[in-house]
């Protein structure tokens, strides 16, 4: 079955950087779209960044210019490079893989940005 495992979260000071990874298995990764979402306590899960199988990207307004989504089809892994982190970026970050028929989610990784 399809499995997604996020890693790379942690505690960082404001202005710092983190790189999240989403390793997938059980799917034809190169054919699927990938997305990063985040959910803060008491809030809904929102899209942070997405990348199509062709490599086109899209970002939430709040992270444009600070975050970069990428993918390595040889490693079946998607990444989210997060720079200039702010306390409001604190959330659980989830990756999602979409094959056009179904979405698959990882278990999430906590990102905490201290002021």
pLDDT digits (tens, 9 = 90+) for 16-60: 999 999 999 999 999 999 999 999 999 999 999 999 999 999 999
In this structure, are strands 103-105 and 109-114 parallel, antiparallel, or unpaired? unpaired
CB distance 11 to 67 below 8 Å: no
Three-state secondary structure string covering 21-89: EEEEECCCHHHCEEEEEEECCCCCCEEEEEECCCCCEEECHHHCCCEEEEEECCCCEEEEEECCCCHHH
Which pLDDT score is estimated for 89? 98
């Amino acid at each position: 079955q399809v499995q997604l495992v996020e890693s790379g979260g942690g505690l960082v000071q404001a202005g710092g950087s983190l790189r999240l990874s989403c390793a997938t298995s059980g799917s034809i990764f190169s054919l699927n779209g990938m997305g990063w979402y985040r959910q803060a306590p008491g809030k809904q899960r929102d899209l942070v960044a997405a990348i199509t199988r062709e490599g086109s990207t899209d970002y939430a307004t709040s992270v444009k210019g600070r975050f970069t989504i990428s993918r390595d089809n040889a490693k079946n892994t998607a990444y989210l490079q997060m720079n200039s982190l702010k306390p409001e970026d604190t959330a659980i970050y989830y990756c999602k893989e979409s094959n056009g028929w179904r979405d698959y989610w990882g278990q999430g990784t906590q990102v905490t940005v201290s002021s």
